Structure 1
Amino acid sequence: MPVAFATLAEWLAYIEGQHTRSIDLSLERVSKVYHALAAQTSAVVITVGGTNGKGSTCAMLEAILTAAGYRTGLYTSPHLLHYNERVRLNRSDASDEDLCAGFAAVERARGNVPLTYFEYGTLAAWWLFCQHNLDAIILEVGLGGRLDAVNLFDSDCAIVTGVAMDHMDYLGDTREAIGFEKAGIYRAGKPALCGDPHPPVTLLEHAQKIGARLLVQGRDYGFKGDKQQWNFIGQAQRRNSLAYPALRGANQLMNASTVLMALETLEEHLPVPMQAVRQGLMAVELPGRFQVLPGRPSVVLDVAHNPQAAGVLAENLASMGFYPETWAVCGMLSDKDIAGSLAHLSARVDHWLLCDLPGPRGAKAEYLAQTLLSLAAKGTVECFSSPAQAFGEARKRAGEGDRIVTFGSFLTVADVMNAASAAR
């Protein structure tokens, strides 16, 4: 008999132990459970993959479509503080009760098929979305694309935000190999967007081979802007005099223009007026993406955990203005390109407060310190047992005009978020 639990915490503990591996890229097992689940919807489905920028793109799509009056579902991962953040209905996190019902439905459908934590969550989110009369469902790919559980669902529009080096153990150690994996979310005859102005040849070739309607940033659509406003230039639409998105960072116009191009391709099903675009871009929120907390010293939270994202973070820090000293709280996972990521920040930090991360994948602070030494990074270096401990020390010692930047992992940012909240 399928198990049943009364609380979300019990369900999460249970599903974490139902597969011997945390990541098992394959659609065969999860496809069997999906068909047994028999959950269907008439909603427009948008799938979002890519190395970086997925979360921002999903958040903008959700905000604009909600502002246009559509009923939306959004599935993302990982979460920062609470699992409920992964599943949203009409811009609100799903309740414990809804999530428990979703997990129970998946458990009834799976029989003896083993599922990973992510696969359980993906199917539960889909089941929950199908129980509501939604107009649009936005699904963020977890890892790669071709073999990710999210790729079970045929989308009406698929977006690859960009292709960079990350998860090489699973996706390949070249940008061409990774590009092919990410292009796996494209569908024949459907809009296939690429927010990367220089996509790998493998992505272009795959889209052409299957007959997807490929649209590439800078070639088929784009944007222009100045310090006050920006314009979107699409295939059939121009949206002029737009305010910058509420999400910070120079890279957000790349994401925003891809969002508006996606919405243009879906105009027949989800027409979006100009006012909804304006409202959505002003209202969009996404914790942990170049998020600046109120107060002094300035505290910047960014989940950047690969070289490309760290490079963007460095550019964004450079645009913030003058700060006497920059304190960095950094913890990373050992399977990331630690040296490549730290190299982008090595010249912008005066004091490094490095921290251990928990679990078998967590890198030790001492390893990060050795990496900085090999990079000849400037500034002082200290090691701590947790991000919260490192952040507490930074708060004690940073001057009022300084800034503290926390980056390296979702785990790092989450721990500092909790510490900052408790200190208020």
Structure 2
Amino acid sequence: MQYIKMSLQHLDFELDYLYKIGFRPLNLKKIKNYISKYKLTPKVPIITVTGTNGKGSTVETINNLLISNGFSVGKFTSPHLIAINERIQVNNQVIDDNSLSNLLRIKRTQLELDAQNYFSVLFLVALSYWQSFKLDYVILEVGIGGKYDVLNLLDADVLVISSIGLDHEARLGGSRSIIGWQKAGLMRAKQSVVLAEPNAPKSITDCAISVGANVYKIQHDFWSQYANSFWNWHSRQQSFYGLPYPNLFIENVSSAIAVCERLNVPLQASKVRSVLKTLSLHGRQEVVHNDPEILLDVSHNAHALQHLLQSIPQKPTILIFSALTRKSVEPMIQVLRQYVEQWIICESKNPHSYSADSLTQIIKQQLSSATQNPPPIYTKSVPSQAVKFGLSLCPKQYRLLICGCFALVAEVKLLIPRLILN
């Protein structure tokens, strides 16, 4: 017990350090030299997933399809929902606290300061951790951007670009074209590039032509055919019929199947069906209670919210909402106002969260200018109060939607069992 206690104390120290260094600029050349010096480049095929929305769903589907076919898979994702260990996995098992603590300490002491930030250190921890396993594939989820991301130090065998929307504009640019160009910066000559968006910005395909990458585009090189209770997947090489609808967006699942095809993984229809029957991801279209329906979703930009609200069954909706100050909240408000009857605003634990009062003022101003009869807007200081109040307002036939940022969804997900039981 004493050993476990000390191990947790060491992990807390390392995580505190990681939070303090934050997302500062990096000397990518030094990180590249570090990867080379310690021979950290995986000796197996690498699948890198970038884009604005849908990255996590795509990664999760690829991961489970490969594992179902008997392959050993390392997975690096960002951000996490509940615990930081979620970011580094092997065959759906997260890195243990002791390994995480030890590897964080090693990176802190070995890396020069300008080669350290929150994301780069965790990425290097993942590469080191995977050396203890005999892997067949590695899947990497880009944090922000692509061209200047630390993950671009590794050459992917297959690159996936999910849907492109406006997010992180201060860092990536203010148009889909510029953001698409940033994501396309991960391309390599002769690389297979799977595009998960039929109307992807032209800047992406222009970049593919420029570098000599091979593009496989949804609704062109592979496509989905929908029926009432099932869907079919087709490419120019093969088809899968009678697939169950997963609890994730089909375009991301469809693109994941295309990735396996590009890797020449011999997928069997029965195994694809089996994976899709149970495929889900925490915080993505996650219904945690019925009557009333409580729906958690980490959508945190206007593009993602629009896609979510157009895709789920329509019903009267009460919203619990929080957002980060670095996000463009006005476009999100304009999307949400078309679907939401009552608003409950709160503050998440993320240090960059809007205060409940300041976010409420922004929303009131936006809604007052958009309609003569704005809906009720309530302010609660913390998510627990917001959920209790939301449940008191919510008839059984309504939906209580919680969205806006990862931190809010994570906190509510942990709260729900206790609040429902009480």
TM-score with structure 2 length normalisation?
0.91
> What letter corresponds to residue 262 of structure 1 in structure 2?
V
- Of residues 288, 293, 303, the one that matches 2:283 is 288
Partner of 1:383: 379
Secondary structure (helix, strand or coil) at the match of 1:350 reads strand
CA distance in 2, matches of 1:187, 1:263: 19
Secondary structure (helix, strand or coil) at the match of 1:177 reads helix
> What letter corresponds to residue 310 of structure 1 in structure 2?
L
CA distance in 2, matches of 1:28, 1:162: 30
> What letter corresponds to residue 353 of structure 1 in structure 2?
I
Give aligned-pair identity as a percent. Answer: 28
Partner of 1:255: 252
CA distance in 2, matches of 1:401, 1:359: 32
CA contact (8 A) 2:26 2:116 kept: no
- Using a 3 Å threshold, how does the CA distance of structure 1 residues 289 and 102 change in structure 2: closer, same or farther? same
CA contact (8 A) 1:194 1:217 kept: yes
- Using a 3 Å threshold, how does the CA distance of structure 1 residues 352 and 184 change in structure 2: closer, same or farther? same
Q: Please say which of residues 279-288 and 167-176 is displaced more in the overlay.
A: 279-288
Secondary structure (helix, strand or coil) at the match of 1:7 reads helix
CA contact (8 A) 2:27 2:114 kept: no
- Of residues 15, 18, 24, the one that matches 2:18 is 15
CA distance in 2, matches of 1:26, 1:407: 35
> What letter corresponds to residue 330 of structure 2 in structure 1?
A
- CA displacement at 1:197 relative to structure 2: 0.8
- CA displacement at 1:5 relative to structure 2: 8.6
> What letter corresponds to residue 261 of structure 2 in structure 1?
E
Secondary structure (helix, strand or coil) at the match of 1:353 reads strand
Partner of 1:299: 294
CA contact (8 A) 1:326 1:405 kept: yes
- Using a 3 Å threshold, how does the CA distance of structure 1 residues 419 and 5 change in structure 2: closer, same or farther? closer
Q: Deviations over 1:64-104 (max 9, x none)?
A: 11111111111111111111111111112221122223324
CA distance in 2, matches of 1:395, 1:37: 53
More helix by share: 2
> What letter corresponds to residue 255 of structure 1 in structure 2?
N
> What letter corresponds to residue 326 of structure 2 in structure 1?
D
- CA displacement at 1:37 relative to structure 2: 3.1
- CA displacement at 1:111 relative to structure 2: 4.1
For residues 201-220 of structure 1, the aligned pairs below 5 Å read 201-220=202-221
CA distance in 1, matches of 2:107, 2:270: 39
For residues 4-403 of structure 1, the aligned pairs below 5 Å read 7-17=10-20, 19=21, 22-24=23-25, 27-245=28-246, 247-248=247-248, 252-267=249-264, 270-317=265-312, 319-320=313-314, 322=315, 325-358=316-349, 361-373=352-364, 374-375=366-367, 376=370, 378-403=374-399
CA distance in 2, matches of 1:132, 1:313: 37
- CA displacement at 1:337 relative to structure 2: 1.7
> What letter corresponds to residue 284 of structure 1 in structure 2?
L
Give the aligned CA root-mean-square deviation in angstroms: 2.0
> What letter corresponds to residue 258 of structure 2 in structure 1?
M
Size of the aligned set, in residue pairs, is: 409
CA distance in 2, matches of 1:141, 1:56: 13
Q: Please say which of residues 335-344 and 350-359 is displaced more in the overlay.
A: 350-359
CA distance in 2, matches of 1:212, 1:105: 37
- CA displacement at 1:6 relative to structure 2: 5.9
> What letter corresponds to residue 415 of structure 1 in structure 2?
E
- Using a 3 Å threshold, how does the CA distance of structure 1 residues 366 and 178 change in structure 2: closer, same or farther? same
Q: Please say which of residues 21-30 and 333-342 is displaced more in the overlay.
A: 21-30
- Using a 3 Å threshold, how does the CA distance of structure 1 residues 26 and 207 change in structure 2: closer, same or farther? farther
- CA displacement at 1:165 relative to structure 2: 0.7
CA distance in 2, matches of 1:80, 1:334: 19
Secondary structure (helix, strand or coil) at the match of 2:340 reads coil
- CA displacement at 1:22 relative to structure 2: 2.1
Secondary structure (helix, strand or coil) at the match of 2:108 reads helix
- Using a 3 Å threshold, how does the CA distance of structure 1 residues 163 and 42 change in structure 2: closer, same or farther? same
CA distance in 2, matches of 1:386, 1:420: 14
- CA displacement at 1:147 relative to structure 2: 1.0
CA contact (8 A) 1:330 1:387 kept: no
Q: Which runs of 5+ in 2 are unaligned?
A: 1-6
Q: Please say which of residues 305-314 and 105-114 is displaced more in the overlay.
A: 105-114
- Using a 3 Å threshold, how does the CA distance of structure 1 residues 26 and 185 change in structure 2: closer, same or farther? farther
- CA displacement at 1:235 relative to structure 2: 2.8
Secondary structure (helix, strand or coil) at the match of 2:354 reads coil
Partner of 2:414: 418
Q: Which runs of 5+ in 1 are unaligned?
A: none
> What letter corresponds to residue 222 of structure 2 in structure 1?
Y
